[in-house]
């Protein structure tokens, strides 16, 4: 099925990074980056190590604050947001390292936030957790502890945990980078399903084949600047900038003509 590029000017952005910069010590690592994610859009952020991808992502749920510039979520400046918990329910994040509680079952890893953050009853939290474990293909593993699950299964529990809070936007920071190659597919399948169901997502990934297939828009970041951004067919098929060409040449995109 062809993936239709939805230009951002046709709809209001759900997330907007406006001219954000970041300085660590005396070193500026992001230099005036602007980026928009429209509702239901799937945006991939790609670029070399150290280009600032994680830092940019971390701005979006206040794990990090930009030194200048604005971050707007649903039109409101999140840097003025007093209720960080409310924002983090609306903006879910999945990390490379799954960050599950080792002493809790898969079900309770998902249910715990519903209990603590949303004050659900134990019964309701368990029901919702079970539903989202089923959504990620783990209905049968609710009673397993993280150490008893594969990396791919653990990452799917982490995704279920974020989804259970009913986020409006999901952030992924290299969700498959810690996985053995044979386990990557199960996690990508879940992200594909979320895309199909209309979830808005901003994804940092080195899976170029996946970006080409699943992105509405790809943003190439290098040395703290957006070098090039566009529909995947354009960015991968006909990159305009020399740095984009060099970066993409490190990946084998053979066979991905979608």
In the complex, which residues of this chain contact Mg ion (CB under 5 A)? 54
The DSSP bridge pattern shows strands 68-73 and 76-77 to be: antiparallel
Residues making up the chain, counted from first to last? 258
Taking the complex as a whole, the smallest distance from the CB of residue 205 to ligand ATP amounts, in Å, to: 10
For 139, which DSSP code? Answer: G
Buried b (16+ CB within 10 A) or exposed e, 95-112: bbebebeeeebbbbbbbb
Taking the complex as a whole, the smallest distance from the CB of residue 120 to ligand ATP amounts, in Å, to: 34
49 lies in the binding site for ligand ATP (CB under 6 A): yes
63 lies in the binding site for ligand ATP (CB under 6 A): no
CB of 26 within 8 A of CB of 48?
Answer: no
Three-state DSSP at 200 gives strand
Taking the complex as a whole, the smallest distance from the CB of residue 67 to ligand ATP amounts, in Å, to: 12
66 lies in the binding site for ligand ATP (CB under 6 A): no
Please work out, in degrees rounded to the nearest 5, the angle formed at the alpha carbon of residue 228 by the alpha carbons of 222 and 234.
135
* Contact of residue 89 among ligand ATP, Mg ion, none (CB under 5-8 Å per partner type): none
Interacting residue with ligand ATP among 5, 6, 18, 29 (CB under 6 A): 29
**73: Cβ contacts below 8 Å, ≥ 6 apart:** 14, 15, 16, 60, 87, 90, 91, 169
Please work out, in degrees rounded to the nearest 5, the angle formed at the alpha carbon of residue 178 by the alpha carbons of 255 and 248.
35
52 lies in the binding site for ligand ATP (CB under 6 A): yes
* Contact of residue 24 among Mg ion, ligand ATP, none (CB under 5-8 Å per partner type): ligand ATP
* Contact of residue 52 among Mg ion, ligand ATP, none (CB under 5-8 Å per partner type): ligand ATP
Interacting residue with ligand ATP among 13, 41, 54, 156 (CB under 6 A): 54
198 lies in the binding site for ligand ATP (CB under 6 A): no
24 lies in the binding site for ligand ATP (CB under 6 A): yes
Interacting residue with ligand ATP among 20, 38, 55, 106 (CB under 6 A): 55
Distance CA 154, CA 187 (A): 10
Three-state DSSP at 15 gives strand
Q: Which stretch binds ligand ATP (CB under 6 A): 49-57, 140-148, 187-195, 243-251?
A: 49-57
* Contact of residue 101 among Mg ion, ligand ATP, none (CB under 5-8 Å per partner type): none
CB of 58 within 8 A of CB of 30?
Answer: no
Interacting residue with ligand ATP among 53, 126, 130, 195 (CB under 6 A): 53
End-to-end Cα, the chain, rounded Å: 9
Taking the complex as a whole, the smallest distance from the CB of residue 101 to ligand ATP amounts, in Å, to: 24
178 lies in the binding site for ligand ATP (CB under 6 A): no
Taking the complex as a whole, the smallest distance from the CB of residue 258 to ligand ATP amounts, in Å, to: 25
- Report residue 158: phi and psi, to 5°: -65, -35
Interface residue list for ligand ATP (CB under 6 A): 24, 29, 47, 49-55
């Amino acid at each position: 099925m062809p993936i239709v590029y939805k230009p951002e000017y046709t709809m209001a952005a759900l997330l907007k990074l406006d001219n954000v910069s970041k300085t660590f010590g005396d070193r500026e690592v992001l230099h005036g980056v602007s980026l928009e994610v429209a509702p239901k859009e799937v945006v991939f952020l790609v670029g070399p190590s150290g280009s600032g991808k994680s830092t940019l992502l971390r701005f979006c749920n206040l794990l990090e604050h930009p030194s200048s510039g604005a971050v707007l979520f649903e039109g409101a400046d999140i840097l003025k947001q007093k209720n960080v918990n409310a924002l983090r329910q609306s903006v879910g994040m999945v990390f490379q390292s799954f960050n599950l509680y080792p002493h809790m079952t898969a079900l309770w890893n998902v249910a715990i936030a519903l209990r603590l953050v949303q004050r659900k009853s134990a019964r309701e939290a368990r029901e919702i957790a079970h539903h989202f474990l089923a959504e990620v293909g783990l209905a049968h593993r609710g009673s397993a502890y993280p150490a008893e699950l594969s990396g791919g299964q653990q990452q799917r529990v982490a995704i279920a945990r974020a989804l259970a809070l009913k986020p409006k936007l999901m952030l992924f920071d290299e969700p498959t980078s810690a996985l053995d190659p044979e386990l990557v597919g199960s996690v990508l399948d879940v992200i594909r399903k979320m895309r199909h169901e209309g979830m808005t997502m901003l994804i940092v990934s080195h899976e170029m084949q996946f970006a080409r297939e699943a992105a509405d828009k790809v943003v190439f970041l290098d040395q703290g600047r957006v070098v090039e951004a566009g529909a995947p067919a354009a960015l991968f098929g006909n990159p305009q900038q020399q740095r984009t060409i060099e970066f993409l040449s490190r990946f084998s995109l053979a066979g991905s003509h979608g």
